[in-house]
C-alpha cells in the first residue's frame, strides 16, 4: 500500500477470550502458552490474540482463515457484536471498545454496514424495505430513504424487484439485497462476513466480480471475511491470514502467493490456481521498439529489422496505442512507394489491462500469434505479454 | 414417636393475605369491577341489539373472508342451531365474557411476555408463576374472586383472565426468542435501539407464534367462562349449571353443544387469521 492512503481503522492488541475469567487466560497467553494449553488449564477459549492491523481508506481487505481461526470473531469485534476482551479499535478518532451504549449505537450507524453469510434479510419486509432498514432506524425521512434504497438496489442490479419479498428471490439475488441494504446506509466501512460462501460457485464468481467493480467505482472501505483462499486472492487488495486467533501474514495476494510467511501459508497456497492471481503486469515485458503513426514504411521496416521483429506496435504522439503492423504488409507498401502506414494498421489486436489475471490472457494466444499488449486506462502501451511468459508462470504451480 | 410437628397454617396465611387485599384495596377492586361491568354491558347490549340473522350473516361473511367457504357454511349452520335451540342470549353473554377476558389477558400478557423474552432474570421469575397459574385447579380461582368482585360476571372474568393468560405470555416469549439469531445480529449491526429491534424485527417475526398464543388464550377463556357460572357468571355455563341442578341431561347437552360450536368457530377463525398473516 502506498503511504498516500489514509488509515481508516487501526486495530491494536485486540484479544478476545470466551469465558468468565478472561484475565487469567490472557496472563497465561503472555506467559507463552498456546490456545490449546490455555483451554486445557482454564476452560477458556482464546478466540483472538494480539491482533494488530490497519485498514486503509478505500481498500478491500480480506481476512482469511479456516473455521475456528477467529475470523468471524474478529469482524464482530470491530462493531462489537462481540465484546473484545482487550485492545483498541480506532475509527474516526473514536476507540470502539471504550464507547458507551449510546455512542456505540451512533458509531454503528455511521461507520458500519454488514453483509451476512446467510443474508439475514428481514422476511417480513419487501426488498425495498430491507434496503431501507439502516436509514429507517436512523430516522431519515421517507422520501429520502426510498430514493437512496432505490439507488442502491439499482447498483446491485435489482431494479424492478422492490416490492418482492426475500423468499421470492434466489440466493444470489437475496445477497444482492443484503449488499443493497449495506450500500444504502452509506456508512464508511462495509463488513462482509463470508458474504458469498452460501452461494453456488458460478454465482459466487459473478458476485466477486461485481463486488470488485462496485468497490472500484465507490472506493468503499471493505473488510471481507472468507475461508476460501481463491476468493481472497481474487478480490483482495490485501489479505490478512488468520490461524488459531493470530495473524500469520498480511500482504497483497501476490506476496502471499509468492512469499508465503511460513509453511502454513505455503501449504494453503499450494493448491491455488495461479492463473487467477498472477496479473499481466507481473509477466509483461517492456516493448523494445514501437513505430509512430507518422513514420513512413521504410522507417518502420528499419526499426523492425533492428529489433528482429515480425510485427510492431504503432503509437501516436501521446504514446497511445493505435494498432499493430506486420512486416510483410509494410514491405509491400514500401515497394509500392507509399509513404504512410496508416492503412496497414491492424486494430483488432489482443490487449488487456495491467491487472488482468493470466487466466483471461491464456485463451488470447490461440490462433494468431501476436503477443498481448498491456495498456493502461489512457490506452498507453505498458508492455507485452508473450505466450512463453504465461506458460512459465503457470508451470510454477506447486513449487513450494 | 410423638414429635408433634405443628401443622403449617398455609391456608390461614393465604386467607389473611386475601382479607388484607380485599379490605385495603376495596376502592381499587370496586373501580375495576365497575369498569369491567360497564364494558360487559356495552358489548353485550351491542351484540344483542343486532338481530340474530344479521349477526349470523356478519359472522358467516367474516368466516368466508378469512377462512373460506366451508368455515362460512359451518358458521351458518352452527349459529343457526344455537338460535333454534333458544340459546342465543346465553351464547352472546358467553361471547362477551370471552372477548373481554381475552382482551384483558392479552393487554397484560404482551408486555410480560416481551419482558420475559428480553430479560433472562424476569424469565426465571415468571416461568414458575405461570406453571402455578396453569396447574392450580381452575375452580380455586373462583373463591378469591368473590370477595374481590362479588358474585357475578366480573368475578368470572377475573378468574378467567388468570386462568387463560399464561399461554399468551409463554407464546409471546417463545415467539420473540425464536427469531433467528442472524436477524437479531443484523438489526444490531445497523445500530437499532432495543425498541426499534423489538417493533421492527422481533414482534413482526413472532406474530405467527403470538397468534397461536392468543388462540390458546381464547380457548382457555371459553372453558373457564363456562365454569365461572358457578359464581354467577351468565351465559351458556349457567344453562349447564341449571341443567345439573335439575338433572336435565338433555338441556345440559344442548348448552354443551352450543359451547362446542362456539369453540370451533373461534378456533378456526383465529387460526386462519394468523395463517393469512404468515402467508405474506
pLDDT tier, A391 (very low <50, low <70, confident <90, very high otherwise):
confident
Q: What is the pLDDT of residues A330-355, one digit of tens each?
A: 888 888 888 888 888 888 888 888 88
Contact B190 A79 (CB under 8 A): no
Contact B189 A123 (CB under 8 A): no
pLDDT value for B2 = 65
Q: What is the pLDDT of residues B179-231, one digit of tens each?
A: 999 999 999 999 999 999 999 999 999 998 998 999 999 999 999 988 888 88
Chain position carrying cell 492503412: A343
Domain with CATH 1.10.3720.10 in chain B: 10-49+88-279
Domain residue spans of chain A = 7-272, 281-395
Query: How many angstroms away from the CA of A73 is the closest CA of chain B?
Result: 13
Q: What is the pLDDT of residues B122-150, one digit of tens each?
A: 999 999 999 998 888 888 888 888 888 88
Identify the burial level of B101 via C-beta atoms within 10 angstroms of its C-beta, where 0-12 means exposed, 13-18 middle and 19 or more buried: buried
- CATH code matching the domain that covers A7-272, chosen among 3.40.50.970, 3.30.540.10, 3.40.50.300, 3.40.50.720: 3.40.50.300
Residue of B nearest to A109 (CA): B191
Provide mean pLDDT across the span A74-81. Answer: 94
- Hey, what's the torsion of the CAs at A387, A393, A397, A399, to 10 degrees? 140
Indicate if the pLDDT at residue A241 is higher than 60.
yes
Q: What is the pLDDT of residues A101-128, one digit of tens each?
A: 999 999 999 999 999 999 999 999 999 9
Contact B183 A191 (CB under 8 A): no
Query: Which residue from A79, A120, A138 is facing B182, i.e. has the nearest CB?
Result: A120
Q: What angle do CA B113, B119, B120 make, to 5 degrees?
A: 105
Interface of B with A in 84-143 (CB under 8 A): none
pLDDT value for A103 = 94
Q: What is the pLDDT of residues A129-164, one digit of tens each?
A: 999 999 999 999 999 999 999 999 998 888 889 999
What is the β-pairing status of strands A238-243 and A60-64? Answer: parallel
CATH class belonging to B10-49+88-279: mainly alpha
Residue of B nearest to A129 (CA): B200
Backbone φ, ψ for residue A96 (5° rounding):
-55, -45
What is the β-pairing status of strands A321-326 and A351-352? Answer: unpaired
Which superfamily is assigned to A281-395 in CATH?
A: CBS-domain (3.10.580.10)
Q: What is the pLDDT of residues A243-291, one digit of tens each?
A: 889 999 999 888 888 788 888 777 777 767 677 777 787 778 888 788 8
- Sequence-distant (6+) residues with CB within 8 A of A246 are A48, A49, A50, A51, A70
pLDDT tier, A382 (very low <50, low <70, confident <90, very high otherwise):
confident
Contact A108 B190 (CB under 8 A): yes
Residue of B nearest to A132 (CA): B190
- Supply A53's cell numbers: 492491523
Query: How many angstroms away from the CA of B279 is the closest CA of chain A?
Result: 10
Query: Which residue from B191, B200, B205 is facing A108, i.e. has the nearest CB?
Result: B191
Query: How many angstroms away from the CA of A288 is the closest CA of chain B?
Result: 55
Contact A114 B280 (CB under 8 A): no
Q: What is the pLDDT of residues B233-263, one digit of tens each?
A: 888 999 999 998 999 999 999 999 999 999 9
Packed helices B120-135 and B88-118: angle between N→C axes, nearest 10 degrees: 150
Contact B185 A116 (CB under 8 A): yes
pLDDT tier, A399 (very low <50, low <70, confident <90, very high otherwise):
very low
Contact B280 A124 (CB under 8 A): yes
Query: What is d(CA A266, CA A269) in angstroms, rounded to the nearest whole number?
Result: 5
Contact B189 A108 (CB under 8 A): yes
Average pLDDT value over all residues in chain A? 86
Average pLDDT value over all residues in chain B? 88
Q: How many CB pairs under 8 A join A and B?
A: 58
This prediction's pTM: 0.73
Amino acid at each position: 500500500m502506498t503511504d498516500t492512503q489514509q488509515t481508516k481503522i487501526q486495530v491494536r492488541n485486540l484479544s478476545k477470550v470466551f469465558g468468565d475469567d478472561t484475565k487469567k487466560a490472557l496472563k497465561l497467553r503472555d506467559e507463552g502458552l498456546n490456545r490449546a494449553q490455555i483451554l486445557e488449564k482454564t476452560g477458556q477459549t482464546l478466540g483472538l490474540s494480539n491482533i494488530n492491523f490497519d485498514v486503509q481508506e478505500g481498500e478491500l481487505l480480506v481476512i482469511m482463515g479456516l473455521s475456528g481461526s477467529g475470523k468471524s470473531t474478529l469482524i464482530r469485534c470491530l462493531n462489537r457484536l462481540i465484546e473484545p476482551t482487550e485492545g483498541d479499535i480506532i475509527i474516526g478518532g473514536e476507540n470502539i471498545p471504550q464507547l458507551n451504549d449510546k455512542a456505540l449505537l451512533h458509531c454503528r450507524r455511521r461507520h458500519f454496514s454488514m453483509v451476512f453469510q446467510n443474508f439475514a434479510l428481514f422476511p417480513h419486509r419487501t426488498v425495498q424495505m430491507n434496503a431501507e432498514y439502516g436509514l429507517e432506524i436512523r430516522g431519515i425521512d421517507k422520501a429520502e430513504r426510498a430514493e437512496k434504497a432505490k439507488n442502491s438496489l439499482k447498483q446491485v442490479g435489482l431494479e424492478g424487484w422492490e416490492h418482492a419479498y426475500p423468499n421470492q428471490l434466489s440466493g444470489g439475488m437475496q445477497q444482492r439485497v443484503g449488499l443493497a441494504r449495506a450500500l444504502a446506509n452509506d456508512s464508511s466501512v462495509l463488513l462482509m462476513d463470508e458474504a458469498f460462501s452460501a452461494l453456488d460457485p458460478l454465482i459466487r464468481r459473478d458476485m466477486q466480480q461485481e463486488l470488485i467493480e462496485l468497490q472500484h467505482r465507490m472506493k468503499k472501505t471493505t473488510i471481507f471475511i472468507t475461508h476460501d483462499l481463491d476468493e481472497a486472492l481474487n478480490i483482495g487488495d490485501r489479505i490478512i491470514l488468520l490461524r488459531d486467533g493470530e495473524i500469520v501474514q498480511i500482504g497483497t495476494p501476490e506476496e502471499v502467493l509468492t512469499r508465503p510467511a511460513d509453511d502454513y501459508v505455503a501449504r494453503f497456497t499450494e493448491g491455488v490456481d495461479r492463473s487467477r492471481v498472477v496479473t499481466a503486469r507481473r509477466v509483461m515485458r517492456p516493448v523494445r521498439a514501437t513505430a509512430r503513426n507518422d513514420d513512413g514504411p521504410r522507417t518502420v521496416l528499419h526499426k523492425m529489422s533492428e529489433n528482429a521483429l515480425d510485427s510492431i506496435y504503432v503509437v501516436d504522439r501521446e504514446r497511445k496505442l493505435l494498432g499493430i503492423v506486420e512486416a510483410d504488409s509494410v514491405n509491400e507498401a514500401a515497394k509500392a512507394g507509399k509513404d504512410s502506414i496508416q492503412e496497414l494498421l491492424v486494430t483488432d489486436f489482443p490487449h488487456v489491462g495491467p491487472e488482468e489475471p493470466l487466466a483471461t490472457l491464456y485463451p488470447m494466444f490461440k490462433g494468431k500469434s501476436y503477443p498481448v499488449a498491456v495498456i493502461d486506462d489512457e490506452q498507453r502501451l505498458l508492455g507485452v505479454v508473450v505466450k512463453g511468459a504465461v506458460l512459465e508462470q503457470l508451470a510454477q504451480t506447486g513449487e513450494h | 414417636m410423638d414429635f408433634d410437628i405443628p401443622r403449617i397454617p398455609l391456608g390461614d396465611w393465604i386467607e389473611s393475605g386475601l382479607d388484607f387485599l380485599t379490605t385495603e384495596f376495596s376502592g381499587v377492586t370496586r373501580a375495576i369491577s365497575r369498569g369491567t361491568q360497564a364494558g360487559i354491558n356495552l358489548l353485550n347490549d351491542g351484540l344483542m341489539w343486532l338481530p340474530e340473522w344479521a349477526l349470523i350473516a356478519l359472522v358467516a361473511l367474516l368466516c368466508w373472508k378469512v377462512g373460506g367457504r366451508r368455515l362460512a357454511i359451518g358458521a351458518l349452520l352452527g349459529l343457526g342451531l344455537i338460535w333454534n335451540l333458544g340459546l342465543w342470549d346465553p351464547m352472546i353473554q358467553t361471547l362477551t365474557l370471552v372477548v373481554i377476558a381475552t382482551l384483558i389477558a392479552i393487554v397484560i400478557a404482551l408486555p410480560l411476555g416481551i419482558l420475559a423474552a428480553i430479560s433472562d432474570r424476569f424469565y426465571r421469575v415468571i416461568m414458575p408463576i405461570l406453571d402455578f397459574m396453569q396447574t392450580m385447579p381452575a375452580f380455586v380461582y373462583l373463591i378469591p374472586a368473590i370477595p374481590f368482585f362479588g358474585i357475578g360476571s366480573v368475578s368470572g372474568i377475573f378468574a378467567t383472565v388468570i386462568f387463560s393468560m399464561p399461554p399468551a405470555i409463554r407464546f409471546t416469549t417463545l415467539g420473540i426468542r425464536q427469531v433467528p439469531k442472524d436477524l437479531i445480529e443484523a438489526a444490531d449491526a445497523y445500530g437499532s435501539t432495543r425498541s426499534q429491534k423489538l417493533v421492527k424485527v422481533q414482534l413482526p417475526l413472532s406474530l405467527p407464534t403470538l397468534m397461536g398464543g392468543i388462540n390458546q388464550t381464547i380457548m382457555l377463556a371459553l372453558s373457564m367462562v363456562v365454569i365461572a357460572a358457578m359464581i354467577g357468571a351468565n351465559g351458556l355455563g349457567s344453562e349447564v349449571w341449571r341443567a345439573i341442578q335439575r338433572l336435565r341431561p338433555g338441556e345440559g347437552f344442548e348448552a354443551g353443544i352450543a359451547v362446542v360450536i362456539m369453540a370451533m368457530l373461534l378456533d378456526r377463525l383465529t387460526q386462519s387469521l394468523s395463517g393469512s398473516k404468515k402467508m405474506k
